[in-house]
Amino acid sequence: MLRERFIVSFFCALSLFFAGTASMAQGGSQDNGKLEIIQADKLLGGRGFDRLIDDVIMKHQQSLIYCDSAHFYQQDNLAKLFGRVRIEDQEDPVVVTSRYAEYDGDTQLAKLRNNVVFVNDGTTLYTDFLDYNRENGEANYFNSGKVVDSLNVLTSEKGLYETQIEKITFTDQVVLTNPDYVLKSNILYYFTIPKTSETEGITNIESAEGNKLNAQRGSFYDTENKLFRFYDGDVETETSKVYGEILFYDELKQYYEAIHNVAIYNKEREVEIFGEEGKYWEDLQYSKVYGNALVRKYFEKDTLYMISDTLISQDSPNPEERYLLSYPNMRLIKSELAGRADSMAYQYADSTIYLFGDPVLWNNKSQITADSIRLLIANQDIERALLRSNTFAITKDTVSNYNQIKGRKMTGYFEDGEMSLLDVEGNGESLYFALENDTTVRGINKLLCGRIIMHFSDNNIRKIAHTIKPEASFTPPHMIKDDMLELKGFLWREEERPDMNMIHAWRTPKIREKDPFNFFNEPDVSLPLPDEGEIQNSIDEVF
């Protein structure tokens, strides 16, 4: 056996020597593009090809080719390889194995089939159909494949591995899996050295903890450093959802940064913040949104709208540490209540809204101003308004007169969103137009008193009570002068009152598809079509 193998190898080498000598005699150096036979246990001649049997070794340029047997078409510079095929590049770290292959020495294209394993350093590709072009280092599979490295497993229906630039393009039913995440898309570019991926179009990711990361226009994912960038994307956890046209997420730092049409939703507090740019620290539960910022606080009956340049939200397991800040030039609307101030603070612990910096409140036909205002919320509605220093309340009656009341401090009480009572304490002063049948002015009542209580019904003053040394006067219509129509400090600021048109003009949140397509909602199981034999058997059973 050894003698036969030696003879075959000797004649293989001799034939190659004479072929090379002939080539040189024709005036050129040896053609390194030709396939060479290095070894075979048996060499059988055939029509148009030589048959190499057992322990076959061939060579092409810097690559060695191993197989159990081969058909060598010397004229075509082509070999068909059978059984335990292995191609090893002596200069590059590429080794590929399969059950069958065809190798073209002219094009340097290897067509590998069945149990193909393509290894390049620490990256391994598994498939059954692979075309590997040694000239440009491109390996192309087209009937499902799997790539495995030290961190990730990627599968797809089609793939192109460009070894020279360490890039793999996956297409159709792409799945990237590692211990932390599962990613699904239809187009994914994977760079094997930094272990980063880039996708196009819809991309869906789910974490081991159940968090969901989605992109409608592609993404970037650094699988080693756990950095994400999503285009038209969102990240949803158990307690929050963050959206941005460009959304950056650093998992290790638990930090989000979003640009353009930003939205941050706190599920537990039912608060959603919108803006042009936003930042969110998940571990601190702290967010900052700026650039025409808008907040919506969702209540059972209605919604509180608030706008300003900047919004800051702090959540915490400790109620004392929860708050929402809005500044500067804050404006708010809740049902018939509207307000504005330079800044606002909402404390969740006591359900209180604090207004600072020239605050103004409007409720139906009433206007309230003070140096500072607090709104107490109970049962998801305004219960009381506490006004301190330079307080002034104005109510417009049915014939457009302005009833006025001022004092050191005021407390307004609300029922079903309407002011029902206004309690003035300290240096109380009121000016009230007495009407007959809500249409005819009977005169002006003016009152100075330590405490004044004003009752409302259907948004109109129905009763005034006073205590502590009242000083009252009444002026009939024919004696009313212009300087008697206003208390000192009167200023009707209706033109500053925010409305929903102002809110929408300030920011209209982008309308997003409610239930967009998600690869994770697609069934993983596919039913194979029956082959011709199965179809014929079914027909035979029927007939």
Give residue 27's pLDDT.
35
> Does the structure show a pLDDT above 80 at 460?
no
Structure tokens at 189: 């570019």
Reported confidence tier of residue 20, pLDDT bands at 50, 70, 90: very low
Reported confidence tier of residue 28, pLDDT bands at 50, 70, 90: very low
Query: Phi and psi (nearest 5°) for 27?
Result: 105, 15
Structure tokens at 450: 């330590």
- Give the separation between CA 249 and CA 526, rounded to whole angstroms: 34
Mean pLDDT, to the nearest integer, of 222-236? Answer: 95
Average pLDDT for the chain: 88
Does pTM surpass 0.85? no
CB-based contact 282:240 (threshold 8 Å): yes
Buried b (16+ CB within 10 A) or exposed e, 323-352: bbbbbeebbbbbbbbbbbbebbbbbbeeee
Give residue 527's pLDDT.
54
Return the minimum-mean-pLDDT range out of 3-12, 61-70, 106-115, 142-151.
3-12
Give pLDDT tens digits for 463-508. Answer: 878 777 788 899 998 898 988 999 999 999 999 999 999 999 999 9
Give residue 539's pLDDT.
59
- Give the separation between CA 64 and CA 37, rounded to whole angstroms: 10
**CATH number for region 359-480:** 2.60.450.10
Residue 187, CA distances (Å) to 173, 191, 195, 217, 417 in order: 8, 13, 16, 11, 53
DSSP string, 403-446: EEEEEEEEEEEEETTEEEEEEEEEEEEEEEEEEETTTEEEEEEE
According to DSSP, residue 371 is labeled: S
Query: Phi and psi (nearest 5°) for 538?
Result: -65, -40
Give residue 296's pLDDT.
93
Mean pLDDT, to the nearest integer, of 289-314? Answer: 92
Give residue 439's pLDDT.
80
> Does the structure show a pLDDT above 70 at 169?
yes
> Does the structure show a pLDDT above 80 at 65?
yes
Residue 504, phi-psi category: left (phi > 0), alpha (psi -120 to 50), beta (remainder): alpha
Distance from chain centroid for Cα 46: 64
